[in-house]
Amino acid sequence: MPPPAVSGQSSVDTQGKPGSDYMDVASEIVVRLADPVARASVLTAEALLAIGTVAYELDPALVTDPVTATFDRFDLAVSLDPRASAMAQFRRTGEPVPWEVSATWDTGQVPPPAADAVWAGDIVVRTAVLNDTIVDVAADQSTVDNKVAIDATIRMSPPGQDPIPVPVSLPVLVAFLAAGVAPSPQELLRATPAARLGAARYRVAAVPAGVPARRFDRLVCWVVPDTTFDDPGWPGAQSDSTPEQRRADRLRAARSWLASQGVAVITTPEPA
């Protein structure tokens, strides 16, 4: 993995395509996220499910149909709040309750970048309902060596009679960090708190009744090229597996420990 770089222009440093005069990879990811039509090439059904399982107690094995999304807001180049605030307490001798004074002011400085984009909307999932019905039970009692044994046969309802999955909307608030070729995990981790702060001023929608419990009100999503996990520095892969399997295993391992930090990871094919 490369050492972290320093940049004052974006939330995560980017790397362009070697030998190319085109835009860098991270910028191309951001542009695709920004465009309502091209957005689906980044936020695929698999990517949306990866975000949903971080935000909610959602079992991906029960999701039956491709996951979709709605976009109430999709803001680009979200910065930290340029305002500063302070609060002080004063207490006069003999007065039990202190006086509180607070103030907020604009610093007049260009606010630092926080996230490449912030999305407020819903992830729409359809989950299977396990609703088989026991329609017949037969039991026989037999004696073997003075011990009683009971043989039971259970017949379930025929397949295809379960209710049709109903779409469920899960409100999400996601701050995106787009990374270029061979991104530094250390740099992404350092940029994550600022991205979360950038999303802090957005209102979090209430969770509807009857849906899975929400894990995180606001989460950060790393968007990286799929070649990122060809790097053996990422743990989780078996040396005797294929390159494709090693890449998938490293991604799965990264998602498992980053999810506890409120961070989702999605990958996208590296632009040609």
d(CA 126, CA 109): 46
* pLDDT band for position 9 (cuts 50, 70, 90): very low
Output the pLDDT for position 65.
87
pLDDT value of position 105: 43
pLDDT score at 253? 97
Asked if residue 85 has pLDDT above 60, the reply is: no
pLDDT band at 252 (very low <50, low <70, confident <90, very high): very high
Tell me: pLDDT of 7 over 50.
no
How many of the other CB atoms lie within 10 Å of CB of 96?
A: 6
Mean pLDDT to the nearest integer, 236-244: 92
Q: Is the pLDDT of residue 141 over 80?
A: no
Angle at 156 between CA 155 and CA 159, to 5 degrees: 135
pLDDT at 166 over 60: yes
Q: Which residue has the higher pLDDT, 143 or 74?
A: 74
Least confident interval from 96-100, 105-109, 111-115:
105-109
Facing residues of 152 across strands?
139
Provide DSSP, the chain.
Answer: -PPP---SSSSS-----TT--SPPHHHHHHHHHHSTTGGGGTS-HHHHHHHHHHHB---GGGB-S--EEEEEEEEEEEE---EEEEEEEE--TT-SS-EEEEEEEE--SPPPEEEEEEEEEEEEE-B------EEEEEEEEEEETTEEEEEEEEEEPPTT-SPPPPPEEEEEEEEEEE--SS--HHHHHHHHHHHHHHTTTSPPPPPPTTSPPBS-SSEEEEEEEGGGGGSTTSS---TTS-HHHHHHHHHHHHHHHHHTTTEEEEEEPPP-
Model pTM score: 0.76
Output 18 or 215, whichever has higher pLDDT. 215
What one-letter code names the amino acid at 189?
L
Mean pLDDT, range 23-43, rounded to an integer:
95
Residues 158-163: contacts with CB under 8 Å, at least 24 apart: 161/133, 162/128, 162/129, 162/130, 162/131, 162/132, 163/129, 163/131
Q: How many angstroms separate the CA atoms of 215 and 217, rounded?
A: 7
Is pLDDT at 216 greater than 80 in this prediction?
Answer: yes
Which tokens sit at 143?
């004696």
pLDDT at residue 3 in the model: 41
Q: Are strands 263-268 and 219-225 parallel, antiparallel or unpaired?
A: parallel
